[in-house]
Homo-oligomer: A and B are copies of this chain.
């Protein structure tokens, strides 16, 4: 996966035109929109994080985005994000120091300065969160993530699918507590860190699966930050020009090469929503009813949307992406934002092959979430191919 000629030997990326790319605030807003879409309902609503980034830009802060190929092989790179129930993190705001505290602890352990950061998951507010840390530390964000979407559990990253260890796992909270974990397995890490997130009030910051630039080039999902920006821009401009944003989205996703098969699975009104904060997750079920008919679709979620059933028949499951979007504006609606009476479209789209291998499905396929149906690609079920 690594192109040798694109890597650098020095710590800093070369001063070529390509690498020095500061994101505009508009791009960051597009990123928020796109990450909310790729989050499959999870990762937390990006609103509060976006506000913090806007304030940071007003004060002269800037976020630099670099390509994964431009990260030196021996650089220390830190994937990061927030863990917890989005229903909680929506109200319990961070104090702002958690990510930096964790980063400094990682540097202390590794005896090396962190070169760059990127999102553990390119979903919702977790797709944005590393930008704040990067601007605080004046280091770049790498254009990649660990999942290619958002998943509810921390071991559901491609790094784990590929056999990498999460250690050292660094958990920090709003009070200033800092915990370093060496877990015997990535599943143990999830279990213990999840319990910590509950003890820490329902959300905490996590840095794990850190490693060298070389390792990241082998395992990270490339290009997903810029893909999110493209998705966000597509939705925004389509709406602005009076075009159908859902058609534009499908075209954009197909053109990306990442997500070939997508489309609206259902159009209707949210007539029922069950939601519970359980085991550190926001767990529940949402039901849409079509306009002028009694046809219904039911979506189960655990932070992220997991499975959609139309009148009992499965139309899509994890790892394919399922996102509720406002039927007029196409703004993604995360699971904790779902409310009775909302008029929504449920949009489904295929994920890249890297998320559909037997090894990947063993980590985040339907069976892991207790869904009885075997995984079937969304395009097969819906006759899109």
B177 and A180 form a contact (CB under 8 A): no
Q: Are A176 and B184 in contact (CB under 8 A)?
A: yes
B177, B184, B188, B191: the one within 8 Å of A181 (CB): B177
Return A39 CB to nearest CB of chain B, in Å.
Answer: 27
Docked CA distance A182–B176 (Å)? 9
**CB of A179 within 8 Å of the partner chain:** yes
B-contact 0/1 string along A159-197, CB 8 Å cutoff: 000000000000000011111111110001001100110
Measured between beta carbons, the chain B residues less than 8 angstroms from A179 are: 179-182, 192
A199 at the interface (CB under 8 A from B): yes
Which residues of chain B are near A191, meaning CB under 8 Å?
A: 199
Q: Is A198's beta carbon under 8 Å from chain B?
A: yes
Please give the distance in Å from A283's CB to the nearest CB on chain B.
19
Q: Is A200 an interface residue (CB 8 A)?
A: yes
Docked-complex contact A177 and B200, CB < 8 angstroms: no
Neighbour of A195 across the interface among B175, B180, B188, B195, CB < 8 A? B195
Q: How far is the CB of A100 from chain B (nearest CB, A)?
A: 14
Q: Which of B177, B182, B192, B198 contacts A182 (CB 8 A)?
A: B177
Contact A192 B199 (CB under 8 A): yes
Q: Which residues of B contact A184 (CB under 8 A)?
A: 175-177
Interface centre among A191, A192, A196 (most CB of B within 10 A): A192
Residue pair B192, A183 in contact (C-beta under 8 Å): no
Cα distance A177–B191 in the bound complex, in angstroms: 11
Cα separation A182 to B175 with both chains bound (whole Å): 11
Q: A195-B199, A199-B195 given as contacts; is B180 within 8 A of A188 (CB)? A: no
- The reply to whether B188 and A183 contact each other, CB–CB distance below 8 Å, is no
Contacting residues, chain B, for A178 (C-beta < 8 A) = 181-182
Q: Which residues of B contact A177 (CB under 8 A)?
A: 181-184, 188, 192
A200: chain B residues at CB < 8 Å are 192
Closest CB-CB distance, A93 to chain B, in whole Å?
Answer: 18
Quote the shortest CB–CB distance from A183 to chain B (angstroms).
5
CA distance A192 to B200 in the complex (A): 8
Residue from the list B105, B180, B188, B196 in contact with A192, Cβ < 8 A: B196
Known contacts A191-B199, A195-B195, A195-B198; can you find 19 more A-B pairs with CB under 8 A?
Answer: A105-B182, A175-B184, A175-B188, A176-B184, A177-B181, A177-B182, A177-B183, A177-B192, A178-B181, A178-B182, A179-B180, A179-B181, A179-B182, A179-B192, A180-B181, A192-B196, A195-B196, A195-B199, A196-B196
A-B contacts, 22 of them at CB < 8 A, read A175-B188, A176-B184, A177-B181, A177-B182, A177-B183, A177-B184, A177-B188, A178-B181, A178-B182, A179-B179, A179-B180, A179-B181, A179-B182, A180-B180, A180-B181, A192-B196, A192-B199, A195-B195, A195-B196, A195-B198, A196-B196, A196-B199
Chain A residues at the B interface, C-beta cutoff of 8 Å = 105, 175-184, 188, 191-192, 195-196, 198-200
Which 3 residue pairs spanning A and B have beta carbons closest together?
A195-B199, A176-B184, A180-B180
